[in-house]
Structure 1
Amino acid sequence: MTTTTAFKPGRLIFPALMLVVGGGWQAFTGIAAISHGGYFVAPAGYAFELNIAAWGWVHLIVGVFAMAVGIALFSGRPAVRLLALILASASLIANFLWLPIEPGWSIAVIGLDVIVIWALATAGGDRA
């Protein structure tokens, strides 16, 4: 006997909202790094030596895309789910690289990204 699990679009509401919230946080971090770069200090000898403004642009772009994909995720389309997984993973990596510069904020967004990835990966779908 085979069972199929029907896809429930309601399971995407939580990761969509969290992607929008996490993208907003990341965009605010990017704006802060671009406009007030003196607030953030990169540690000496940091392996990924981009200036703070460049990191700000990275965070702003990833954040804006995350918010847009989070809003599009409400449609429930499989392609958007895949794009959301890729974007949440990119956000996780960007915040991991930002960790020495702003640890508290990075850990919060990394945690949110992990929750989004888990929620998207376990949202269900057609299974044989």
Structure 2
Amino acid sequence: MGTPGAPRDSKPAGGASIAASGGTMFAGVLLLVNGILGILLGITAIAKDDVYARLGDYVYKFDLTAWGWIHLILGVLLVFTGLGILKGADWARVVGITLASFMIIANFLWLPYQPVWAIISIAIDVFVVWALCTDHPKKDASRHAA
């Protein structure tokens, strides 16, 4: 079906769009990069409490060292999950959605310390959740064969 010369299965399985299919690979890269940046942010917050200054008064107050550990742990988990998505691991999709959701919450609470980066990171994580939720991997035909 389709145009001559085009691959027969040019549309990803599950009716997902081509943008969502390519978005999954990009989501894996974004998780990997966001994890590395989270690790660096965490190390900075743990090592030097005076690097970040809080802007105004905020309801959710945490010690910067605690924030550093939160970002460091989430960053390490994001790196491994991003690598899992890039390798096509089945577990990585659900873990990626869960960790990206936690990062959205963590960056919302991180807003007083780095508002611009927190908003950018929230937008990245929203894209990651969308990409991982909308693209459905091709099912293995041998498992469903009758």
Please say whether Structure 1 and Structure 2 have the same fold, judged by a TM-score greater than 0.5: yes
Query: How far is 1:125 from its partner?
Result: 4.2
The number of equivalent residue pairs is: 123
Q: Is the 8 A contact 1:40 1:101 kept in 2?
A: yes
1:70 aligned onto 2:82: yes
Q: Which structure has the bigger radius of gyration? A: 2
Match of 1:53 among 65, 68, 81: 65
Identity %: 36
Secondary structure at the counterpart of residue 39 of structure 1 = coil
2:107 corresponds to which of 95, 114, 121: 95
Quick one: higher RCO (CA 8 Å, sep 6+), 1 or 2?
Answer: 1
Structure 1: runs of 5+ lacking an equivalent: none
Instruction: Give the corresponding residue for 1:35.
Output: 47
CA contact (8 A) 2:56 2:112 kept: no
TM-score under structure 1 normalisation? 0.84
More helix by share: 1
> TM-score, normalised on structure 2?
0.74
Q: Which residue of 2 aligns with 1:80?
A: 92
1:32 maps to a residue whose letter is T
Measured in 1, the distance between the counterparts of 2:120 and 2:12 equals 33
SS at the partner of 1:37? coil
Aligned-residue CA RMSD in angstroms? 2.4
Q: Which amino acid aligns with 1:31?
A: I
